Each structure stands twice: as structure tokens, then as C-alpha cells.
């Protein structure tokens, strides 16, 4: 595996005329065949020298001169759209099923998704090779670590781009995306266009499974944790772990993995990497950890490194955010940012939309809006809220339609245990009918919930009830949507949890620092 990726990286076939770097990309049909070690057939000699104009796996976006790669998907089969791609002027079709009689050259490959990545990497001149690439994976913490790291790297004087769930940020500008890890063509295009020295990106298990990282190699990889999630996609935790592990075998020569070994899956990963001679820095409480955690709480983390004690104050509340801070700082230090500079920079961290986002209400109550959507993250969050505020906790949350249903009872148990009352409400329906989701909420509440809970399907009404019944010192914790906009309409026309809270209560945003 390692060999395969490293060979691909070293064995770059420079399809592109180097003098046109950052200009127009020139790739000839003949060179595309060479990329796959196939001699272009002489019957295609008349098009050998034709330059392709781009790459896509979506027939709806084909423009003349592009390569269309047919991907067999979960919903439909890209091979069914080959004719459409031909009609729209595709110069070459790539796929793994015989397309029959078509007017456009066809290149057979075994793995179209992988081929798409290889083509995109080559077309955009292997842009990851020119940058310091940092990949962050794990069930929770990817967004938090990438945002922290971005802030620290820039504080260290390097320009930094960031790709992930909340937004993509390149060349100092935001590019909206719809995925945590972008599609492989966008990824290589964005890296090619980026003038940032460092790129820090969230790497999802879906992205790894679907070759969205093909042709990218990393200088630093980070593992935060593995918790039950996405078992609608991965068939077991073992498969989920195997998918996440792939990232750690996509390293550049001299690359460094940073692994949280206080997570049992992280411990296993760290051993796996060590056994294979891969450079790994373990961060954990065990004496054997490279960075040994001595003490960790909502405010910061004390650790021993090479016999010396250090402390980072965490800029976002929650013990788990102290872990996130340590991992981000460890990575930034590998890039040459000093501990002293980081201690200072953490004080000016602006926070992350929808991650422990705090508001104060006029009646002296508080609100936390957060993206927690696993049982573990709900538990950690409610515990942190309980330590921070003395009053009662009302937890408002729901479940995404068409997503891992097996985690729902555990999420409800965590809520019942760590809040004083919960309100089950709607999250994104994702095509599940309203009545069906409402009935599942009710059923779950009756079977797994407790008397301190209730079901109010309309999310805005649920928030209104929670806010109106809060008293001085209480905290309303709203989870699931975080920074995201609502996908369906509720009885008042608000578009996000933040807007609902601000509009209903004229709430004032509180500082991001745990002590504030």
C-alpha cells in the first residue's frame, strides 16, 4: 500500500509542459494513455496530439474536449451517461465497462474512481507535491483541529489554506463546498490554484474509500478518535477504522503521523504504524506516549515532552478541545512554529462557527450551539456544559434522516444521563417524510427515553420552548446542526439555530474562551 502510493508519487509522469505552470494546462490524449502505462492505439493516431480541456465524472458538466470518467455509484451508474457525454463533445471516455459502439475513444481501466484521481492529479500537475499538506481524520474533531491549526500556522508566518466541513478557504478567500472532503477533481484544481504554502484538510472516511485523495500525499497526518458513526456506510467499526487508516499510508517521504492514543482505535493505529516503521508521534496519558499528557481539563492541557513540562490553554471549552489543541499544536510545531508563539496565538483564536458557540440571554441563562452528532460527543459536550454552568441543562437535538440509525439510542441515553431535560426535535430530514421521522422520535422517546424528555418536532418551536423556560444560570444546549443552515422550513422563517436563538431572544454572543 505504502509502496503503491509512494511509487505513484515518485513516478510522476509529467504530462504537462512545465513552462505553463499555473497557466493553461496542456495534456494530450496520447499522454493520458501513457499515464496508465498503455500505448495509445494507432487507430487513434489522428487524435493523439489533441489536448484535453478538463476532466469530469458528471455527464451534466461535460464540455467539449473533456475526459468523461464513468463511475459506478451508489445511486446510479456513470456508464449509463456515456452517450450524453459523447453528445456534449467529450474527447475521451474512461470506464470499466464496454460502452459498445461510441464515436469517442474509450480507455478501459479497472478502477474508474481511482483513475479519475490519477487523471486529475496529473492534469493539475500533482499540486500537493508543491505544498505542505496536513490531513486530519477521526470521527470528531477534524473541523476543530483544522481551524486551530490554520490559526497557528498563520501565526507562525506561513500562508495556510483550509478544506473542510464549514468552508474551504484558499488564497485568503472562502469557497463554499458541500462535502467535508471535496471531490478529487475539485481538490486537485483547488490545490493547483492555491498560492498557500500549507494546506490543512479534513479527510473523511467516505473520501478515502472513494479515492477522493488519489494523487495526494501528506507531510503530516492526524488521528483524533474513532466513535460509532457512519455505520450506514461502513458495515462495521472495523471497516470504518480500516477506511480511516488509509490516510496514514499516504505520507510523503519524511512525513509524520500524530495519533491520539488515549482513543483505543488510535492506540491500535499507532502500534500498526510503529510496527511498519512509519514515523508516528503518539499523544496520550500512557507513560510510553511521545507526548505524555499529565493533566487535562476544560481549560487546558499539561504534558511532558522529552522530560520537560509544558501547558497549552485551550481556546474552546471542553476536555476534548484540549485534546484537539494539543494535536493542532504538535502539528504546527513540526512546521517550525514555536511553543511560545502558539501559547500567544491561542489567545486570539476566533472560535469556529457552530462549535461550542455560546450566547447569553437577557434573563441570565446561556445557550450553546454545537455540531455534536454522536453519543460520545453529546456526552462530552453536556459534561462540559454542566461544569461550566451551575443551573439546569436543557438539551435540544434530533437525528439526520437517512443516516446511521444505530447510533440514535446511544445519543438519547447520553442526553438523558447528562442533561436535566431533553427535547427531541427535527434535524435534516434528507428525504425521510416528516410523519415518519416524527413517529421515530416519539417511538424512541417512549422506548429509550425518560420522563424528563419531550418531543417537539418543529425545531424552531422546540428552541422557543427551551429558551422560554430557561432561568438565570441555566443552559440550553442545541446540537446537531451547528453552523449549518436548516434544510426544511419551520413555523417561523429562521434559517439556522444561530438565527433562531438571536431572533427569539436578542441573544448576545459570548466570548469563545472557556474562562469567559
Ligand X SMILES: CC(=O)N[C@H]1[C@@H](OP(=O)(O)OP(=O)(O)OC[C@H]2O[C@@H](n3ccc(=O)[nH]c3=O)[C@H](O)[C@@H]2O)O[C@H](CO)[C@@H](O)[C@@H]1O[C@H](C)C(=O)N[C@@H](C)C(=O)N[C@H](CCC(=O)O)C(=O)O
Footprint of ligand X (CB under 6 A): 57-60, 71, 73-76, 78, 81, 179-181, 183, 204, 206-207, 210
Q: Which does 486 bind (CB under 5 to 8 A by kind): ligand ATP, ligand X, none?
A: none
Q: How far is the CB of 217 from ligand ATP (least distance, A)?
A: 22
Nearest residue (CB) to ligand X, 204 versus 479: 204
Residues with Cβ within 8 Å of residue 439, at least 6 apart in sequence: none
DSSP reduced 3-state for 187: helix
Angle between helices 459-468 and 497-505 (to 10 degrees): 40
DSSP 66-84: EEEE--B-SS-BGGGGHHH
DSSP reduced 3-state for 249: helix
Q: How far is the CB of 75 from ligand X (least distance, A)?
A: 3
Residues of this chain that interact with ligand ATP (CB under 6 A) are 138, 140-144, 165, 180, 202, 224-225, 320, 323-324, 355, 370-372, 376-377, 380-381
CB neighbours of residue 274 within 10 Å: 14
Nearest residue (CB) to ligand X, 210 versus 292: 210
How many Cα atoms sit within 13 Å of 276 on the Cβ side? 14
Q: How far is the CB of 484 from ligand ATP (least distance, A)?
A: 10
Q: Which does 141 bind (CB under 5 to 8 A by kind): ligand X, ligand ATP, none?
A: ligand ATP
Q: Which does 58 bind (CB under 5 to 8 A by kind): ligand X, ligand ATP, none?
A: ligand X
**Which cell numbers in the block locate residue 455?**
418531543
Nearest to 32 by CA among 7, 56, 51: 51
How many Cα atoms sit within 13 Å of 272 on the Cβ side? 19
Residues with Cβ within 8 Å of residue 152, at least 6 apart in sequence: 328, 329, 332, 337, 342, 345, 346
Q: How far is the CB of 328 from ligand ATP (least distance, A)?
A: 11
How many Cα atoms sit within 13 Å of 207 on the Cβ side? 28
Q: How far is the CB of 136 from ligand ATP (least distance, A)?
A: 8
- CA separation for the pair 320, 297 (Å, rounded): 8
Nearest residue (CB) to ligand ATP, 122 versus 478: 478
Any bridge partners for residue 308, and if so which? 305
Nearest residue (CB) to ligand ATP, 113 versus 142: 142
Contact at 8 Å (CB) between 373 and 400?
Answer: yes
- CA separation for the pair 314, 345 (Å, rounded): 11
The H or E element spanning position 264 is: helix 264-275
Q: How far is the CB of 187 from ligand ATP (least distance, A)?
A: 17
- CA separation for the pair 427, 425 (Å, rounded): 7
Estimate the share of the chain in helix, then strand, then coil, as percent rounded to the nearest 5: 35, 20, 40
Nearest to 227 by CA among 374, 354, 25: 374
Nearest residue (CB) to ligand X, 232 versus 390: 232
Nearest residue (CB) to ligand X, 57 versus 392: 57
Q: Which does 322 bind (CB under 5 to 8 A by kind): ligand X, ligand ATP, none?
A: none
Q: Which does 17 bind (CB under 5 to 8 A by kind): ligand ATP, ligand X, none?
A: none
Q: Which does 256 bind (CB under 5 to 8 A by kind): ligand ATP, ligand X, none?
A: none
- CA separation for the pair 339, 23 (Å, rounded): 39
Q: How far is the CB of 204 from ligand X (least distance, A)?
A: 3
Q: Which does 190 bind (CB under 5 to 8 A by kind): ligand ATP, ligand X, none?
A: none
Nearest residue (CB) to ligand ATP, 57 versus 202: 202
Nearest residue (CB) to ligand ATP, 148 versus 455: 148
Q: How far is the CB of 488 from ligand X (least distance, A)?
A: 18
Nearest residue (CB) to ligand X, 144 versus 181: 181
Nearest residue (CB) to ligand ATP, 47 versus 429: 429
Q: Which does 289 bind (CB under 5 to 8 A by kind): ligand X, ligand ATP, none?
A: none
Nearest to 189 by CA among 208, 215, 159, 221: 215
Q: How far is the CB of 443 from ligand X (least distance, A)?
A: 25
Q: Give the residue at shortest CB distance from ligand X.
A: 73
Q: How far is the CB of 136 from ligand X (least distance, A)?
A: 11
Contact at 8 Å (CB) between 121 and 185?
Answer: no
Nearest residue (CB) to ligand ATP, 202 versus 333: 202
Q: Which does 75 bind (CB under 5 to 8 A by kind): ligand X, ligand ATP, none?
A: ligand X
Q: Which does 359 bind (CB under 5 to 8 A by kind): ligand X, ligand ATP, none?
A: none
- CA separation for the pair 329, 324 (Å, rounded): 9
Q: How far is the CB of 356 from ligand ATP (least distance, A)?
A: 7
Q: Which does 206 bind (CB under 5 to 8 A by kind): ligand ATP, ligand X, none?
A: ligand X
Amino acid at each position: 500500500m505504502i509502496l503503491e502510493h509512494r511509487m505513484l508519487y515518485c513516478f510522476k509522469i509529467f504530462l504537462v509542459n512545465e513552462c505553463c505552470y499555473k497557466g493553461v494546462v496542456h495534456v494530450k490524449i496520447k499522454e493520458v494513455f501513457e499515464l496508465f502505462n498503455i500505448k495509445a492505439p494507432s487507430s487513434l493516431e489522428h487524435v493523439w496530439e489533441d489536448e484535453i480541456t478538463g476532466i469530469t465524472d458528471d455527464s451534466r458538466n461535460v464540455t467539449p474536449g473533456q475526459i468523461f470518467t464513468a463511475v459506478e455509484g451508489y445511486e446510479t451508474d456513470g456508464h449509463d451517461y456515456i452517450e450524453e457525454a459523447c453528445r456534449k463533445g467529450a474527447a475521451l471516455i474512461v470506464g470499466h465497462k464496454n460502452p459498445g459502439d461510441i464515436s469517442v475513444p474509450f480507455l478501459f481501466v479497472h478502477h474508474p474512481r481511482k483513475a479519475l484521481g490519477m487523471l486529475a492529479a496529473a492534469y493539475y500537475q500533482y499540486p500537493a507535491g508543491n505544498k505542505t499538506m496536513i490531513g486530519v481524520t477521526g470521527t470528531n474533531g477534524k473541523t476543530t483541529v483544522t481551524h486551530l491549526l490554520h490559526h497557528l500556522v498563520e501565526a507562525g508566518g506561513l500562508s495556510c489554506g483550509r478544506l473542510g466541513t464549514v468552508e474551504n478557504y484558499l488564497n485568503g478567500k472562502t469557497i463554499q463546498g458541500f462535502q467535508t472532503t471535496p471531490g478529487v477533481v475539485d481538490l486537485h484544481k483547488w490545490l493547483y490554484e492555491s498560492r498557500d504554502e500549507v494546506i490543512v484538510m479534513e479527510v473523511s472516511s467516505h473520501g478515502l474509500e472513494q479515492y477522493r485523495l488519489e494523487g495526494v500525499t501528506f507531510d503530516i497526518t492526524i488521528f483524533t478518535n474513532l466513535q460509532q458513526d457512519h455505520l450506514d456506510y461502513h458495515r462495521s467499526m472495523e471497516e470504518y477504522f480500516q477506511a480511516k487508516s488509509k490516510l496514514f499510508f499516504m505520507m510523503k517521504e519524511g512525513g509524520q503521523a500524530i495519533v491520539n492514543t488515549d482513543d483505543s482505535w488510535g492506540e491500535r493505529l499507532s502500534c500498526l504504524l510503529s510496527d511498519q516503521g512509519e514515523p508516528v508521534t503518539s499523544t496520550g496519558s500512557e507513560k510510553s506516549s511521545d507526548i505524555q499528557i499529565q493533566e487535562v481539563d476544560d481549560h487546558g492541557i499539561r504534558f511532558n515532552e522529552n522530560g520537560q513540562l509544558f501547558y497549552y490553554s485551550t481556546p474552546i471549552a471542553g476536555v476534548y478541545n484540549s485534546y484537539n489543541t494539543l494535536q493542532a499544536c504538535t502539528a504546527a510545531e513540526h512546521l517550525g512554529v514555536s511553543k511560545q508563539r502558539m501559547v500567544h496565538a491561542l489567545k486570539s483564536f476566533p472560535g469556529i462557527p457552530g462549535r461550542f458557540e455560546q450566547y447569553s440571554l437577557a434573563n441570565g441563562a446561556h445557550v450553546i450551539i454545537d455540531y455534536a452528532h454522536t453519543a460520545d460527543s453529546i456526552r462530552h459536550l453536556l459534561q462540559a456544559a454542566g461544569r461550566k454552568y451551575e443551573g439546569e441543562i436543557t438539551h435540544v437535538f434530533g437525528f439526520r434522516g437517512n443516516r446511521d440509525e444505530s447510533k440514535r439510542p446511544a445519543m438519547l441515553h447520553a442526553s438523558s444521563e447528562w442533561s436535566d431535560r431533553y427535547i427531541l426535535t427535527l434535524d435534516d430530514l434528507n428525504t425521510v417524510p416528516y410523519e415518519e421521522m416524527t413517529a421515530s422520535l416519539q417511538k424512541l422517546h417512549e422506548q429509550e427515553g425518560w420522563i424528563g424528555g419531550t418531543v417537539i418536532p418543529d425545531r424552531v418551536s422546540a428552541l422557543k420552548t427551551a429558551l422560554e423556560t430557561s432561568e438565570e444560570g441555566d443552559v440550553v444546549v442545541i446540537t446537531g446542526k451547528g453552523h449549518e443552515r436548516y434544510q426544511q422550513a419551520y413555523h417561523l422563517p429562521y434559517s439556522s439555530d444561530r438565527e433562531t436563538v438571536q431572533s427569539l431572544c436578542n441573544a448576545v454572543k459570548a466570548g469563545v474562551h472557556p474562562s469567559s
